[in-house]
Amino acid sequence: MFVFEYFGRYEYKWIDYLVRPLASTITGVGLFFLIILPIFDRTSRWNTLTRFLILGILGIFYAIVFILILHLFPILFYEKSSDYKESIFAFFVADFHNVLKNYLFQIAVLFVFEYILKETNSIKKQKNLEIELNQTKLQLLKSQLQPHFLFNALNSVVAEIDTRPDKAQDMLIDISDILRITLESDFMEPVTLEEELYIIEKYLSIEKNRYEDQLIYEINVSDGTMGLKVPKLILQAIVENSIKHGFRGIEKSLTVRIEACTEQKVVYIKNNGAKLNQKSTYRTGLTNVMERLKIFTGQENAFKIYQDDQWVVNKISLK
């Protein structure tokens, strides 16, 4: 009743409508940036119980300081009355809990913001670690892939250098072209299927010079699929594996066929050579293919190899 009687007999002036709201805003913003925010940030590294205790004490201190500062304006702008002390007491009783609730709301907002910031930083950190890990894996796979390819390609040249030196020379030119493309470009960046097939044709040309009529290759890829993005040299390892294991134990010619489907984003590498041996399905070359496609697509089953009638099918899903 005392509070209502006080405000009932009080005559409001323009200062109540202009100065007090302005002073309240300036005081609140000032205390937030000068006291609340620095202390909240400093206590972020403390344990939870200590932090809540400090912030609780800070809340009481904040409310008292806020009200005391706000009452400097009446002292400056109002004429002192006989009941001035009573008015201050009434203001404390009426507004203390409101200021405290305002403080708690600000703290709650800061906690929410802090939580969101921590989660965002955690997600970014995790993604950066995944990117670094994937780059490390790709560099390791590249270090395994290049010597493996070079060793096999040079073996093909050695097999021809005495009997057919002209063909051996052509094969060396193709090998140098493949190595130049491999070394000059970023292994981590994907290439178009068209660029990948250019390398594959170079490689198949090397093997064609070696096996002549025993090796037949077909590339049945429409212009619409040439823009598909694939990991660099991903097809070379599969084609190499198809030729190597396709010729094993057979006397007939070997056909290697490359096909692509735009709608499903799938590339097929098929050969009609030796039947698939499940015990030796995934050797080093194909294991690298699986790992690289897993990184590239984010899928566990991006690469499959299976027997389809007389064809051994290597399926690459790029979705």
pLDDT band, very low/low/confident/very high, at 77 (cuts 50, 70, 90): low
Task: Indicate the range of 120-124, 133-137, 219-223, 295-299 predicted with least confidence.
Answer: 133-137
Whether the per-residue pLDDT at 248 is higher than 60: the answer is yes
pLDDT, position 143: 52
**What's the whole-number mean pLDDT along residues 112-141?**
74
pLDDT band, very low/low/confident/very high, at 219 (cuts 50, 70, 90): very high
Model pTM score = 0.54
pLDDT band, very low/low/confident/very high, at 131 (cuts 50, 70, 90): low
SS (H, E, C) the chain: CHHHHHHHHCCCCHHHHHHHHHHHHHHHHHHHHHHHHHHHHHHHHCCHHHHHHHHHHHHHHHHHHHHHHHCHHHHHHCCCCCCHHHHHHHHHHHHHHHHHHHHHHHHHHHHHHHHHHHHHHHHHHHHHHHHHHHHHHHHHHHHHHHHHHHHHHHHHHHHHHCCCHHHHHHHHHHHHHHHHHHHHCCCCCCEEHHHHHHHHHHHHHHHHHHHHHHEEEEEECCHHHCCCEECCCHHHHHHHHHHHHHCCCCCCCEEEEEEEECCCCEEEEEECCCCCCHHHCCCHHHHHHHHHHHHHHCCCCCEEEEEECCEEEEEEECC
We find that the CATH architecture of domain 164-317 is: 2-Layer Sandwich (3.30)
pLDDT, position 4: 41
Whether the per-residue pLDDT at 278 is higher than 50: the answer is yes
Which range has highest mean pLDDT (15-24, 93-102, 157-166, 201-210)? 201-210
Q: How confident is the prediction for the chain on average, in pLDDT?
A: 78
Whether the per-residue pLDDT at 259 is higher than 90: the answer is yes
- Pick the more confident residue, 299 or 91: 299
Percent of the chain with pLDDT strictly greater than 90:
12
pLDDT, position 317: 92
**What's the whole-number mean pLDDT along residues 129-141?**
59
pLDDT band, very low/low/confident/very high, at 139 (cuts 50, 70, 90): low
Domain boundaries, the chain: 2-124, 164-317
